[in-house]
């Protein structure tokens, strides 16, 4: 084994051991503990868990690569703007109100706020969004194992499945939460150490955010010498319309992601939910303000070391990534030199390698490379576990308990939840081995689906008390259905067409969201309005201090809810 493989194995064994120990120490025996960690997680810890849950393999592995290479700097900034801006929307518009409403899952809120039909559509949407998202995470796990441990992608995904199965099934949300706190610690240290070292190496400045600004002028000149547009030039890779649509899809999709929203149910109170959001923004900013620097530094080093290099004289790191098929070279003109330029067509770089390869490109020691690999696994597994819990709770709570067997005991509900979790992990593993695209592209599709499905009905459900069950159901189905159809169409013909008006599949979620809003509002004008008690309850969740109906609802004493059938019995706990 090489030094890099040895250090990667050391860090993987240590971190995986920590995750398993935390899961065992946090094992639960109640549905409250399994679904929402008993609602007792302190705000700083919850903020770290939210950050780990949200900063997936796409944030850790792919984002800097997209900014640097696929987006040529400016266009790639849609991911920075969309994912961070969306979190502000989530914290301001949804999180505290959903926490006060007091349900376990997004379909739970939709079912109680609207109807059982809406609940079932929301279950389908949650499962679709979560499976699309988790495919990117498991693909990231396979990528890390393939490159750094010499294990095949399929074997790497299986290893990741086993670890997630252990701590997610055993500890539920409680185990996942405390494991995510540890995973955030691993991933942020793994991300910051190399970027600080590379910043010092290139610019002499230990603050990468400042070093990033210092190098942009030189990077612009390097790119223009090779025939590329300047790194900072706007609208060279995409149009203004698509910049707006993709940014909006990522932003509103972030605010509608079920696995992130459910994290606020684990807070001790509405006030704690707000503070959790504040802590999460701080923890997220540590990585997101560093990612543009990683991208710029890596591209600078890449151009400096590779452009114009004879094919037989490429550095070892380049050859290693080429051996696993993540860098490909085709000497089109037969001159034996790697021509890197917009028209050359001799070099293809997988966006997913940039962060993972950055320490090697910069010549950092093997322990740093191994630490980055462990950080990438932490990012992927933390998000995967949260997504799998959404799938499990949607099946066990919103389908089995709420629709099939309302008299189910705590033990039976836990058993069904764990079985659903195990089945979801198997499907996630298959999707990780056979992903429909690179990591960040797959994740962006999930954000588009969340944008088109959940965000409109959650916002309207909170801020427009006359939103009807029929309107929400129709809007949810219309937004999700049109977005899925468009994505399937454009992905199927990728390379032959740019879709309608050149809108990519990653930006169509915004159109689906507008369709959802329009259908929900129009149908709500012509269908039966919610009961007066439900309208008063919706008013109450928006005002601090008002809790009479909220308390009655949480205890199962609110009789006049807009369900299609009789209200469920309160939970035994």
For residue 424, the number of C-alpha atoms closer than 13 Å in the C-beta half-sphere is: 32
Whole-angstrom Cα distance, residue 351 to residue 207?
24
By DSSP bridging, strand 347-349 and strand 327-329 are: antiparallel
pTM of the model: 0.81
Check residue 492 and give its pLDDT: 53
Check residue 442 and give its pLDDT: 66
Could you state, in chain order, the average pLDDT of each consecutive group of 10 residues for the chain (573 residues)?
A: 85 88 79 73 88 80 80 76 83 83 80 88 86 79 80 83 77 81 92 93 91 88 85 81 90 86 79 84 89 88 86 86 83 83 78 83 89 88 82 85 85 86 85 66 78 93 93 93 86 55 85 96 94 87 73 60 41 36
Cα–Cα distances (Å) from 146 to 96, 143, 331, 358, 373, in that order, read: 41, 5, 26, 17, 11
Q: Which of 93, 516, 402 is nearest to 264 (CA)?
A: 93
The count of other CB atoms within 10 Å of the CB of residue 237 is 17
Residue reference for tokens 């169509």? 508
Q: Quick one: DSSP state of residue 489?
A: H
3-state secondary structure of 544: coil
Q: Two tokens at 359? A: 């320490």
The count of other CB atoms within 10 Å of the CB of residue 570 is 10
- Portions of the chain given CATH number 1.20.1730.10: 3-291+364-451
Hey, what CATH class is 3-291+364-451 in?
Answer: mainly alpha
């Amino acid at each position: 084994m090489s030094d890099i493989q040895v250090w990667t194995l050391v860090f993987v064994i240590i971190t995986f051991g920590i995750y398993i120990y935390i899961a065992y120490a946090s094992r639960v025996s109640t549905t409250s503990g399994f679904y929402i960690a008993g609602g007792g997680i302190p705000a700083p810890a919850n903020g770290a868990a939210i950050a780990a849950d949200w900063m997936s393999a796409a944030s850790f592995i792919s984002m800097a690569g997209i900014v640097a290479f696929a987006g040529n700097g400016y266009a790639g900034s849609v991911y920075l703007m969309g994912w961070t801006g969306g979190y502000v929307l989530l914290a301001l518009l949804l999180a505290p109100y959903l926490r006060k409403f007091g349900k376990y899952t997004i379909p739970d809120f939709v079912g109680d706020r609207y109807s059982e039909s809406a609940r079932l559509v929301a279950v389908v949407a949650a499962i679709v969004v979560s499976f699309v998202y988790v495919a990117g995470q498991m693909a990231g796990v396979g990528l890390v194992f393939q490159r750094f441990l010499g294990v095949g992608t399929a074997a790497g995904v299986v290893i990741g499945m086993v670890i997630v199965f252990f701590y997610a099934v055993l500890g539920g949300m409680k185990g996942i939460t405390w494991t995510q706190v540890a995973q955030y610690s691993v991933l942020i240290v793994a991300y910051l150490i190399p970027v600080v070292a590379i910043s010092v190496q290139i610019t002499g400045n230990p603050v990468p955010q400042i070093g990033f600004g210092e190098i942009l002028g030189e990077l612009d000149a390097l790119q223009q010498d090779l025939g590329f547009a300047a790194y900072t030039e706007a609208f060279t890779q995409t149009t203004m319309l698509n910049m707006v649509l993709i940014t909006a899809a990522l932003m509103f999709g972030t605010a509608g992601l079920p696995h992130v929203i459910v994290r606020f149910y684990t807070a001790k109170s509405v006030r704690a939910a707000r503070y959790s959001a504040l802590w999460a923004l701080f923890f997220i900013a540590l990585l997101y303000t560093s990612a543009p620097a990683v991208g710029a530094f890596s591209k600078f080093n890449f151009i400096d070391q590779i452009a114009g290099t004879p094919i037989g004289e490429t550095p070892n790191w380049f050859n290693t990534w080429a051996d696993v098929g993540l860098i490909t070279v085709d000497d089109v003109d037969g001159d034996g030199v790697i021509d890197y330029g917009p028209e050359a067509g001799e070099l293809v770089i997988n966006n997913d390698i940039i962060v993972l390869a950055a320490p090697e490109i910069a010549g950092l020691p093997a322990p740093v490379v191994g630490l980055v690999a462990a950080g990438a696994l932490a990012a992927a597994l933390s998000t995967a576990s949260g997504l799998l819990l959404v799938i499990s709770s949607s099946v066990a709570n919103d389908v089995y308990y709420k629709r099939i067997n309302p008299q189910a005991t705590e033990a039976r509900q836990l058993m069904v939840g764990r079985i659903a979790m195990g089945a979801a992990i198997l499907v996630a593993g298959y999707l990780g081995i056979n992903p429909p695209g690179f990591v960040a592209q797959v994740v962006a599709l999930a954000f588009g689906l969340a944008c088109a499905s959940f965000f409109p009905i959650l916002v309207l459900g909170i801020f427009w008390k006359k939103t009807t069950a029929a309107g929400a159901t129709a809007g949810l189905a219309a937004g999700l259905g049109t977005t899925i159809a468009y994505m399937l169409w454009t992905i199927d013909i990728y390379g032959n067409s740019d879709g309608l008006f050149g809108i990519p599949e990653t930006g169509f979620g915004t159109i689906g969201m507008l369709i959802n809003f329009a259908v929900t509002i129009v149908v709500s004008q012509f269908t039966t309005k919610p009961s007066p008690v439900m309208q008063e309850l919706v008013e109450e969740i928006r005002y601090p201090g008002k809790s009479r109906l909220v308390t009655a609802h949480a205890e199962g004493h609110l009789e006049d809810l807009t369900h299609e059938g009789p209200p469920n019995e309160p939970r035994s706990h």
